[in-house]
Structure 1
Amino acid sequence: MPLSEQFNAAAEKVKSLTKRPSDDEFLELYALFKQASVGDNDTAKPGVFDLKGKAKWEAWNKQKGKSSDAAQQEYITFVEGLVAKYA
């Protein structure tokens, strides 16, 4: 199966988790998904009072420079770990 299909399948699998992952796991999931699907973060950093937006922005920004394929592969591996832990 091509990497993009595995990535899309992993994105669907994560929706079927029966327990809620930790906030750090959610941020990692978000950052890898954004890096894989959009690429490097080139958006403006959210303001001081937008704590959730700032955390998401910083998590995504840490992935800067990672190729889409590498981010997709890491996302797939990360989702498999979450499925094993929370499904």
Structure 2
Amino acid sequence: MVFKTKGVCASQINIEIEDDIIKSVEFVGGCSGNSQGIARLTIGMHVNEVIDRLEGVTCGYKATSCPDQLAKALKKYQAEH
């Protein structure tokens, strides 16, 4: 799935999910090191676990963050499947 982000440096998140397990995550734009770290840490995790851990994380003065946007993307995935 492709998720267009809002309020963060990354412009989108490309996510591959199989049987509610994260197979791959790629942030387009944003802070490369942090994005790669988040992506690697979430591979193999269940969608619900990632949402529980990342939802509500903020970045500085922003009301959201790349991890929070990933949680929003996964919630959208759940709503559609």
Structure with a larger share of its residues in helix: 1
Same fold (TM over 0.5): no
Look at both structures and tell me which one has the larger radius of gyration over its CA atoms: 1
Normalized against structure 2, the TM-score is what? 0.33
Instruction: For CA contacts below 8 A with separation 6 or more, give which structure has more relative contact order.
Output: 1
Normalized against structure 1, the TM-score is what? 0.31
